[in-house]
């Protein structure tokens, strides 16, 4: 069943059947202020940190599922009927009222046709320039579609949160008495009394006809946001109190002639009434229109860094809009604000952030480089990364407020951890992330930038990279394969001194990136040294990890193989086999055989499972994965993040049809009519989909905040379409289904625009016969520093 459709011209997903069984979420904000908002306008917002500076409250994992939110109610003041502009919270039956939600890029629009009115609420956060106070705007329009004059009331409503989210959720002794409401100058204020000068505001561009600052005053006893007493009665109670649950509720009465439309604006932000006044002045109707247009231009410009036109409509839709958008959200907000991660664990996950920052430097050069620098700073001198750390703490920025209650605060010392808590893969991801960022910018001097280590001392970026490689080449087990430590990419594979095939292959891949960079820099000694170490590791892997038809996943600390043909459970694993190929460590025959095993053991119509069969017997020498239910998350689910690794691997061995088969299985846009099974956003990759060994096979969970987004984009654009910037040339080496006649793409790179046309007259899957740049035959695509250039690639097999 289908609940919505794609409006590509508007770059929106339109939910026209709003009674979706799950919340479909979107993100607002592109800088300091952010919000996660469902198709019911449920959700919350924050400034800088969803943990330390929350603005609105959310009831996580609650019933109903996505309350409260940033709501607007409408009431017919003649007959007392009331409704919300988003379907929830009032939730009129769909046969009475026509609801629609549109999720766009950093904005959402909720609209409702009911009782002779059409009304809409657009939520967005304007992009600030330097000195502006960030603010969320509720842009509301109400039209009278009846043939008589109407008297209506509009109510905006938010529930404020205490700044510290842990305190807001756990310590009501504090949060109920340390924050209070004021009403000044037509503005609802939430005062965070313990923090000097800390306020949040909710205001409108009008003189309110009523207000409430106390949640219970607005909602009333034994009621919910579905039937607030104040809206039902049509009069807000005018409540304020020093203490209690603070809300912002404002009423505006409207008289509308037949056919007339009126527009009113609400503002939600931090600061007092002067901040609200600035918002009113800056974002009057014209200012709001300008800010909204600027937001659309911002995305237009970002997306223009790469636009593709292939014969695959959903691939175009994904790469040109939604997959990039999701990847950008991850770089902007890291991974800690959603309806699953509700803001209490902020900071940067080392490996997740490195991978996010590796995948979209073309569209988000500054953000990716900022993340890379933060991770370089989060590296221990010994060469391993801090698994989860808050850059603000490392940079000694004050992030939490002192209160009389003792709250353990993350301090620099306790954030540093030893090798036992290190994950073997974390810092290895940073090497390709650095390389990809420099390939994008061409700025080789970045390798010589000096950055402090997390513990002590400083070094150049190049020295950091060597420290990472040296650490991993030192950390090997009895077979000579890299140790798994606390975990490798798979959080639930906890091998300690046991060995991880995936990390060994990842080390080979990271070395490849390093050696490539050493070549560009002319650092031949470093290139030779690490080439030798890499080749030795490849030999060890080929010798010890090959099982006959696929690669082992590793060895336990006792030396027992994991993922062999002799095993009953966890026989075949996605991570080790894909990485054996991506790294180039597998021989050609091994590569083909192991990817065939991936296809026959792990493929499902929803994507590739992480391992099969799922583990059922607890075995702590393998790890926590054996305690996870079969078919769930890391134990035999279709874990999305490693799926694109298989697309890359198939492209490396030239099987474009197979890569597309895997791509198509996971692509959310392909599942738009499967909502009753998939139960997730058709425009967002999810962390995992229940695997074949689970009763809910096909059900996807944890949208947006997942490395599958960046990796899907990276694999599809760089390997399937084959558009890869290098240090000194652009490569276009596609691996596509044989039936494709070709495709076109426009790629911006280092100040120039490359208009790429790929022709596939011989209907091959891979192989480039000839390249033309601006009409001239060339052996490789040069780096242009400006202008628009026509690149023609003809695929085929040379005879």
Return d(Cα 602, Cα 306) in angstroms, integer.
Answer: 32
Nearest residue (beta carbon) to ligand GLC: 491
Greatest distance between any 2 Cα atoms in the chain: 85
Residues 6+ apart with CB under 8 A from 769: 794, 795, 796, 797, 798
- What is the radius of gyration, based on Cα positions, of the chain? 27
Return d(Cα 756, Cα 24) in angstroms, integer.
Answer: 35
Identify which of residues 429 and 647 has a Cβ nearer to ligand GLC in the complex. Answer: 429
CB-facing half-sphere around the CA of 318: CA atoms within 13 A: 30
Q: Smallest distance, Å, CB 350 to ligand GLC?
A: 9
Alpha helices (H) in 458-587, listed in sequence order: 461-474, 501-521, 524-545, 574-582
Identify which of residues 490 and 626 has a Cβ nearer to ligand GLC in the complex. Answer: 490
Identify which of residues 356 and 364 has a Cβ nearer to ligand GLC in the complex. Answer: 356
Identify which of residues 330 and 670 has a Cβ nearer to ligand GLC in the complex. Answer: 330
The CA distances from residue 9 to 60, 321, 391, in Å, are 34, 10, 39
Q: Is 491 noted as a catalytic residue in this protein?
A: yes
Query: 490, 430, 428: which is closest to 639 by C-alpha?
Result: 490
Query: 485, 486, 355, 529: which is closest to 433 by C-alpha?
Result: 355
Return d(Cα 327, Cα 349) in angstroms, integer.
Answer: 15
Q: Smallest distance, Å, CB 668 to ligand GLC?
A: 17
Q: Smallest distance, Å, CB 575 to ligand GLC?
A: 9
Q: Smallest distance, Å, CB 634 to ligand GLC?
A: 5
Identify which of residues 18 and 424 has a Cβ nearer to ligand GLC in the complex. Answer: 424
Return d(Cα 670, Cα 667) in angstroms, integer.
Answer: 6
Interface ranges with ligand GLC (CB under 6 A): 349, 351-352, 489-492, 634, 687, 706
Q: Is the dihedral of CA 312, 317, 321, 323 positive or negative?
A: negative
Tokens representing residue 626 in the block:
């054996």
Q: Smallest distance, Å, CB 487 to ligand GLC?
A: 7
Contact 777/771 with Cβ under 8 angstroms?
yes
Catalytic residue chosen out of the listed positions 16, 491, 516, 599:
491
Return d(Cα 293, Cα 283) in angstroms, integer.
Answer: 12
Identify which of residues 481 and 487 has a Cβ nearer to ligand GLC in the complex. Answer: 487
Identify which of residues 246 and 433 has a Cβ nearer to ligand GLC in the complex. Answer: 433
Q: Smallest distance, Å, CB 438 to ligand GLC?
A: 24
Identify which of residues 139 and 356 has a Cβ nearer to ligand GLC in the complex. Answer: 356
Residues 6+ apart with CB under 8 A from 186: 203, 204, 206, 207, 208, 211, 250
My answer on whether omega of the bond before 86 falls inside 30° of 0, hence cis, is no
Query: 46, 48, 36: which is closest to 168 by C-alpha?
Result: 46
Return d(Cα 157, Cα 55) in angstroms, integer.
Answer: 13
Contact 193/244 with Cβ under 8 angstroms?
no
Return d(Cα 112, Cα 71) in angstroms, integer.
Answer: 13
Identify which of residues 436 and 634 has a Cβ nearer to ligand GLC in the complex. Answer: 634
Q: Is 768 exposed, middle or buried (0-12, 13-18, 19+ CB in 10 A)?
A: middle
Q: Smallest distance, Å, CB 349 to ligand GLC?
A: 5
The torsion angles phi and psi of 559, rounded to 5 degrees, stand at 90, 5
Identify which of residues 92 and 493 has a Cβ nearer to ligand GLC in the complex. Answer: 493
Q: Which residues partner with 742 through β-bridges? A: 759
Any idea which residues carry the catalytic annotation?
491
């Amino acid at each position: 069943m289908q609940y919505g459709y794609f409006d590509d011209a508007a770059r929106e997903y339109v939910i026209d059947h709003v009674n979706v069984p799950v919340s479909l979420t979107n993100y607002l904000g592109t800088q300091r202020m952010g919000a996660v908002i469902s198709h019911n306008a449920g959700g919350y917002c924050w400034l800088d940190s969803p943990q330390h500076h929350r603005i609105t409250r959310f009831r996580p994992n609650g019933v109903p599922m996505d309350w409260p939110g940033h709501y607007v109610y409408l009431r017919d003041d003649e007959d007392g009927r009331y409704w919300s502009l988003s379907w929830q919270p009032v939730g009129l039956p769909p046969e009475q009222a026509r609801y629609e939600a549109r999720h766009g890029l950093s904005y959402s629009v909720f609209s409702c046709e009911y009782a002779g009115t059409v009304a809409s609420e657009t939520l967005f956060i304007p992009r600030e320039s330097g000195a502006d106070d960030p603010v969320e705007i509720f842009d509301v329009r109400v039209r009278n579609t009846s043939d008589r004059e109407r008297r209506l009331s509009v109510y905006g409503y938010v529930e404020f949160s205490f700044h510290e989210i842990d305190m807001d959720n756990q310590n009501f002794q504090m949060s109920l008495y340390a924050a209070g409401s004021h009403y000044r100058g037509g503005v609802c204020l939430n005062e965070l009394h313990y923090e000097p000068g800390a306020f949040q505001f909710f205001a409108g561009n009008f003189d309110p006809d009523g207000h409430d600052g106390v949640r219970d005053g607005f909602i009333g006893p034994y009621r919910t946001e579905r039937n607030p007493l104040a809206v039902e009665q049509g009069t807000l109670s005018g409540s304020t109190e020093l203490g209690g649950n603070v809300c912002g509720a404002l009423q505006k009465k409207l008289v509308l002639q037949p056919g007339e439309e009126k527009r009113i604006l609400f503002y939600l932000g931090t600061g007092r009434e002067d901040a609200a006044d600035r918002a009113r002045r800056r974002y009057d109707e014209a200012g709001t229109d300008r800010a909204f247009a600027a937001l659309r231009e911002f995305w237009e410009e970002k997306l223009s860094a790469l636009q593709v036109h292939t014969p695959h409509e959903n691939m175009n839709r994904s790469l040109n809009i939604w997959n990039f958008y999701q990847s950008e959200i991850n770089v902007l907000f890291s991974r800690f604000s959603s309806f699953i991660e509700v803001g209490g664990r902020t900071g940067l996950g080392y490996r997740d952030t490195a991978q996010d920052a590796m995948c979209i430097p073309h569209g988000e050069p500054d953000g990716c480089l900022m993340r890379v620098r933060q991770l370089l700073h989060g590296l221990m001198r010994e060469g391993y990364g801090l698994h989860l750390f808050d850059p603000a703490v490392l940079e000694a920025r004050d992030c939490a407020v002192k209160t009389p209650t003792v709250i353990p605060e993350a301090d620099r010392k306790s954030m540093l951890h030893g090798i036992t808590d290190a994950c073997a893969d974390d810092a290895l991801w940073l090497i390709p992330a650095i390389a990809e960022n420099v390939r994008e910018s061409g700025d080789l001097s970045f390798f010589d930038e000096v950055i402090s280590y997390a513990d002590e001392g400083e070094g150049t970026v190049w020295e950091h990279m060597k420290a990472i490689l040296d650490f991993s080449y030192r950390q090997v087990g009895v077979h000579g394969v890299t140790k798994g430590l606390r975990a490798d990419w798979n959080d639930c594979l906890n091998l300690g001194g046991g060995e991880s095939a995936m990390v060994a292959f990842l080390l080979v891949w990271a070395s490849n990136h390093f050696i490539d960079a050493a070549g560009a820099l002319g650092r031949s000694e470093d290139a030779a040294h690490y080439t030798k170490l890499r080749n030795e590791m490849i030999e060890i892997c080929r010798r010890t990890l090959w099982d006959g038809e696929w690669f082992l996943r590793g060895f336990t600390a006792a030396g027992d193989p994991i993922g062999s043909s002799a095993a009953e459970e966890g026989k075949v694993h996605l991570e080790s086999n894909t990485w054996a190929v991506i790294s180039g460590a597998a021989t050609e025959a091994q590569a083909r055989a192991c990817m065939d095993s991936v296809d026959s053991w792990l493929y499902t119509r929803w994507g590739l499972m992480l391992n099969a069969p799922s583990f059922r017997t607890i075995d702590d020498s393998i790890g926590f994965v054996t305690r996870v239910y079969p078919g769930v998350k890391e134990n035999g689910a279709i874990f999305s993040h490693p799926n694109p690794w298989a697309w890359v691997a198939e492209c490396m061995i030239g099987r474009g049809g197979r890569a597309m088969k895997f791509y198509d299985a996971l692509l959310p846009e392909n599942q738009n009519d499967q909502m009753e099974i998939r139960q997730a956003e058709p425009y967002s990759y999810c962390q995992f989909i229940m695997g074949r060994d689970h009763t809910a096979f096909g059900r996807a969970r944890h949208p947006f905040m997942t490395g599958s987004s960046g990796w899907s984009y990276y694999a599809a654009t760089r390997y399937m379409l084959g558009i890869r910037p290098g240090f000194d040339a652009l490569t276009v080496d596609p691996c596509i289904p044989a039936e494709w006649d070709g495709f076109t793409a426009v790629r911006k790179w280092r100040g120039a625009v490359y208009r790429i046309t790929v022709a596939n007259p011989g209907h091959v899957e891979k192989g480039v016969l000839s390249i033309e740049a601006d009409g001239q035959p060339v052996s490789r695509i040069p780096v242009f520093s400006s202008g628009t250039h026509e690149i023609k690639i003809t695929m085929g097999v040379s005879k």
